[in-house]
Structures are given as structure tokens and as C-alpha cells.
Structure 1
């Protein structure tokens, strides 16, 4: 369990972001060409809008290794020491987020569905957060950690039942 665990669905999400932005650009260009309004300036504007859509849709790449969780966006990356977490906050709502802060002051924000869809990542993170609890560094978030673990276990069970045809 000391190896690197990455989001196995990230490449598909990237592909979806690229396809969506490309289809958006194509639709705008076809509409403009059909209306007879297509010019270099409008092509540049539509390309810029498509690029912005891509940036918005591209999820960060998440990876977990022993003692560290890292996210990598288009331009910026963040990482935290998961074996010395100071706090864990789980914002359960429409846009669920887990915010991890370590004792060095670094923080990372991730979507908990990444952990649900990637059991190896969750196992590694869960083991490291237990280390933080044992060391006494995790001062805020023990309850949220339990709730997150229950949520991930529930979603995993639902997925197993759905795939096996029992639900």
C-alpha cells in the first residue's frame, strides 16, 4: 500500500472536457457561418470561450501516496501531508468538498467522489488520517472523518449492489 494511487477516472474526465469544449466551439462556428457573421475576430472570441469552458470543466488530477495527497490543476498544484493532518472539513451539499490542512499550513480541496470511485486512494488516505489521529495532530475533523468514511462505505456498497444486479 506504499505505492502511488491515482484517480483512474481522470483521463476520461479530461477527454469529456476536451470534447465538450470542442463541440461548443464547433456549434458556435457553424451558427456564425450559417448567419454569415464568421470573421477572424469572432473565431478568436469563440475559441477563447471554448478554452475557458475547458478550464472550468477540467477537474484537478488527484493522487495519494504514503504520507501525501496531491492535486494538480491546469497551472497549479497543491499537496498536504496526510500523516500529519491538522484539520479535515467535509462540506456536504450540492458541491461536496473535503478540505484537508496539515500541520505545516498546506491545504488541499478535493471532491469526495474521487475517493469513492478510487478505493486504493481512499484506503491510503484513511490509513494516513488514522496515523494523524494516533499522533494527536488531527484536532478538527474526527467526526467529519467518520462521516466521510461512512459515506464512502455506503456509496461503495451501493455500487457493488448495482453492479451485481442486487439493486
Structure 2
């Protein structure tokens, strides 16, 4: 998924073959865009773009399915980011 994708128009987010294989995101104009959660851990800007847009899509009534998936991914990104910070700080 490129940062150019209109995440504020997401209508669905679904995990195919579990969260480790990454979700498929669909908007009104893009049928399917896939990415891996790993890409979000190494590029927080990409995750923030998806998260911010998905929240807007939900608030605007566009996101019809995927809030649970996004919540699980959000918790995983937060957990892995915290672990990386602890490791880099020598607190692991």
C-alpha cells in the first residue's frame, strides 16, 4: 500500500490468512491493496497514515468492516514499537 492511497475512504479491512499475512484494504476507488504489518513496524509514517485515515473513514461512515482488525493491528504495532524502544534503550 502506498502512502498515496486515500485511507480516509476505506470501506473494508480484512485479514487474509491471519494477521501475519497482512490485511487487504479496499476503498471506493481501489479494489484491493495489500501490505504486511511488518512494513508498518519499520515505517511508522505508513502506519500513522493508515490509522488516521481509517479513523476518519469510520467517523464519516465509510468503513463498513474492519474496525476489529485495525484494533488488533494497532495493539500489535504499539507492542512491537515499545519492544524496539526498550531494546534500543538497553531495558529489554
Q: What range describes the TM-score normalised by the shorter chain of this pair?
A: 0.7 to 0.9
Which residues of 2 match residues 126-165 of structure 1 at below 5 A? 126-165=51-90
**Cα displacement string for residues 15-70 of structure 1 (whole angstroms, at most 9, x for unaligned residues):** xxxxxxxxxxxxxxxxxxxxxxxxxxxxxxxxxxxxxxxxxxxxxxx5314xx2xx
- Compare CA radii of gyration and give the structure with the larger one: 1
CA root-mean-square deviation: 1.6
* Higher share of residues assigned strand: 1
What is the TM-score when the length of structure 1 is the normalising length? 0.51
Paired residues in the alignment total: 91
For the 8 Å contact 1:87–1:140, the answer to whether it is kept is: yes
Runs (5+) with no aligned partner, structure 2:
none
- Larger RCO of the pair (alpha carbons < 8 Å, separation 6+): 2
How far apart are residue 105 of structure 1 and its match? 4.9
Moved over 3 A (4+): none
What is the TM-score when the length of structure 2 is the normalising length? 0.88
SS of match in other structure, 1:63 = coil
Runs (5+) with no aligned partner, structure 1:
1-61, 69-80
